Amino acid sequence: MSSERVLVELSKGVNGLDKIILRETRGSSAEVYLYGGHVTSWKNDHGEELLFVSSKALFKPPKAIRGGIPICFPQFSNHGPLEQHGFARNRFWSIDTDPPAFPTNSSGKAHINLILRPSEEDMKIWPHSYEFRLRVALGPGGDLMLTSRIRNTNTDGKPFTFTFAYHTYFSVSDISEVRVEGLETLDYLDNLQNKERFTEQGDAITFETELDKIYLSTPTKIAILDHEKKRTFVIRKDGLPDAVVWNPWDKKAKAMADFGDDEYKHMLCVEAAAIEKPITLKPGEEWRGRQELSAVPSSYCSGQLDPQKVLLGS
């Protein structure tokens, strides 16, 4: 069998960390590190990288990898007592060889199932037993699908509550030429203004300074239009009502040791999330949150994401 036909390959990544390479027969691919359950690469069938990973990313525990798709669990950002963005992004996940059946059929697609369970140390900082199953799958057209299933396995009868985000770093040609559609007129919490609540104007979101907002009750479809690349990313999400939009801009970029001074120009985070209304699970209950990413040529024109059309699921 030629190597192109191997759909799932276990390999070594930066600093000898284990990674899984997914390949789709038409040429698209993705890479997932067991460290963080972290997707670090998603390429289209021309071999073009669609995710941003900083040239200064450390790939060294306990620092989370800067870029790709960190998983924020059980806490988004500093919205709680735990470390920033929780601990799932800097734990070692395992390959889940025998996951319970998934509602969405991924058979035939290149996919990998990972699992995270708490260690004794983790139980000291977040005293709950859980199983976090993550499936990363590459669709035939190169779409990247992430499905998270989190189950409360507490035996003490206690529920637990968490917030969550897929902290996706998209690669863009020039942040000044990018706009985000689908979040117009929505309420948001501004992380740069003490999480105060505001309402977005009617226009698509563009970027000319630092931005760090949590959009609330967002549609299931959001688009990032990159004019220079003539590419549009479409994010479809399920179980994740909120969407964080973040670009650190120049000052914060300089302050981050694992991020290049000018790299803010070439990335944008749009994060499918559940933050405003934290998820509570009783023992035995399971939550599911899914995001599907596609990259399409920009003939996909503006206006397609007007709220009415989105609500109707077009």
Give least dist CB 273 to ligand BG6, A. 8
- Cα–Cα distance, 276 to 271 (Å, whole number): 13
- Restricting to residues 183-222, which ones interact with ligand BG6 according to CB under 6 A? 191, 212
Is 133 annotated in a binding site? The answer is: no
- Cα–Cα distance, 96 to 100 (Å, whole number): 10
88 near ligand BG6, rule: CB under 6 A: no
| Closer residue to ligand BG6 (CB): 110 or 183 | 183
Minimal CA–CA distance to 86: which of 152, 165, 193, 188? Answer: 165
Among the listed residues 38, 43, 85, 149, the single contact to ligand BG6 using CB under 6 A: 85
Candidates 77-85, 132-140, 177-185, 224-232; binding stretch for ligand BG6 (CB under 6 A): 77-85
Distances (CA, A) of 138 to 31, 143, 289: 10, 6, 17
Give least dist CB 114 to ligand BG6, A. 20
Distances (CA, A) of 127 to 22, 80, 148, 160, 274: 34, 15, 20, 9, 21
Strands 130-138 vs 196-199: parallel, antiparallel or unpaired: unpaired
- Cα–Cα distance, 284 to 35 (Å, whole number): 27
Q: Locate tokens 């004019």: which residue?
A: 227
| Closer residue to ligand BG6 (CB): 163 or 232 | 163
Give least dist CB 77 to ligand BG6, A. 5
| Catalytic (active site) residue 276 | no
The reply to whether omega before 62 is within 30° of 0 (cis) is yes
- Restricting to residues 246-285, which ones interact with ligand BG6 according to CB under 6 A? 246, 271
Q: For 57, what's the count of Cα atoms within 13 Å in the CB-facing half-sphere?
A: 19
Is 5 annotated in a binding site? The answer is: no
167 near ligand BG6, rule: CB under 6 A: yes
84 near ligand BG6, rule: CB under 6 A: yes
Stretch 124-163: interaction string toward ligand BG6, x if CB under 6 A: ----------------------------------------
Give least dist CB 237 to ligand BG6, A. 15
| Closer residue to ligand BG6 (CB): 168 or 232 | 168
Distances (CA, A) of 268 to 57, 249, 256: 16, 10, 16
Contacts with ligand BG6 by CB under 6 A lie at: 77, 84-85, 167, 191, 212, 244, 246, 271
Please give the positions annotated as active site.
167, 271
